Amino acid sequence: MQQEIELEKKPTGKRKIDLDDAANIALFLAIFLGVWQLAFMSGIWPKVSLPSPETVGETFVKLIANSSLIRGIGVTLWRLGAAFAISITIGMVTGLAMVKFRGFGRTVNSFSAGLLAFPSIAWVPFSILLIGFNDFGIMFVVIMSSVFSVMISTYSSIRNVPPTYLRAARNMGAKGLRLFWYVMLPAATPSLIIGVRQAWSFAWHAIIGAEILMSLVGLGFLLNMGRDLIDMSQVIVIMITVFAMGLLFDRLLLLKLEERVRSKWGLAQHGE
């Protein structure tokens, strides 16, 4: 009678670092640096337009030593974090309101393609005139660029909860708030996290863009300062920093969160 079926091993647990992957990444970086060095030595571009990897390395050390890079990162992250938190809150509340008030939901949803595709930089002039040349102006751009993604994904995740879950829950006596907390929200979580990841990427685009145009500190500002000083090595250092931070946040935070949820649900992991 008893079915003795071995539980499948959870895909998480001990994850050994894939040596092949590490080797491939190292190889890729080596080729990248090599091509860069060759391009530099070819003399096609003046040194001022294309510095050597070595010069960029020196600038990197210099920017760390005078602490401008760390300060830039700090300011950018503070703005981004605050704006993103506001964006999540407003986005989720509005998304839920869209579910609750169907007419409102349908109307806003019909605008969603335009809202999601709207370029974040296009908010900058509006924000400068409305709020001004300050932290809040930048945060406004970040919020406007990511809030719709949170809102639309909240709306669609909740609406796409399989009706059998809701029927089963109602049948067991769940309704109102409890139905929402115990069933709708957890059932919507996997797709909600995807929306949050997307919103994070929009917010990241927006903050660098906004800082280039309207800030006196932060990574975007440092990038623009590199241009003003005709210091390509600084531009490249900041670009690499922006790249690395984008990668880090997504891989270490959001992807981990998503994978944890997906493995609990038994959904396929990315790349499988």
Partner 1 sequence: MSTQQLQMKRALQIKEVSKRYGDLHTLNNISIDVDDGEFLTIVGPSGCGKSTLLNIVAGLDKSYTGNVFVNGQPVETTGPDRIVIFQEGALFPWLTVLENVEFGLRVAKIPKDKRRETALRYIDMVQLSKFVDAYIYQLSGGMKQRAAIARALALEPKILLMDEPFASLDALTRTKLYSQLQQIHQNTKKTILFITHDIREAACLGDRVIVLSYRPARIKKEFIVDLPRERRIDDPDLQIVARAILEELKEEVRLAARDRVRKEAYW
**Is 110 a binder of partner 1 (CB under 8 A)?**
no
Q: DSSP letter string over 21-65?
A: HHHHHHHHHHHHHHHHHHHHHHTSS-TTTS--HHHHHHHHHHHHH
Regarding 1 and contact with partner 1 (CB under 8 A), the answer is yes
Closest separation between CB of residue 161 and partner 1, Å?
Answer: 11
72-75: long-range contacts, CB 8 A cutoff, minimum separation 24: 72/217, 72/218, 72/219, 72/221, 72/222, 72/238, 73/219, 73/241, 73/245, 75/217, 75/218
Tell whether residue 260 is a contact of partner 1 (CB under 8 A): no
d(C-alpha 138, C-alpha 18), whole Å:
40
- x/- site string to partner 1, residues 149 to 188, per CB under 8 A? ---------------xx-xxxxxxxx---x---xx--xx-
State the minimum distance, in angstroms, from the CB of residue 183 to partner 1: 7
Number of residues counted as binding partner 1 (CB under 8 A): 27
Per-residue x/- marks for partner 1, 9-48, CB under 8 A?
----------------------------------------
- CA end-to-end span of the chain: 34
Residue with tokens 């050390």: 61
236 binds partner 1 (CB under 8 A): no
Residues of this chain that interact with partner 1 (CB under 8 A) are 1-3, 5, 7-8, 164-165, 167-174, 178, 182-183, 186-187, 189, 261, 264-267
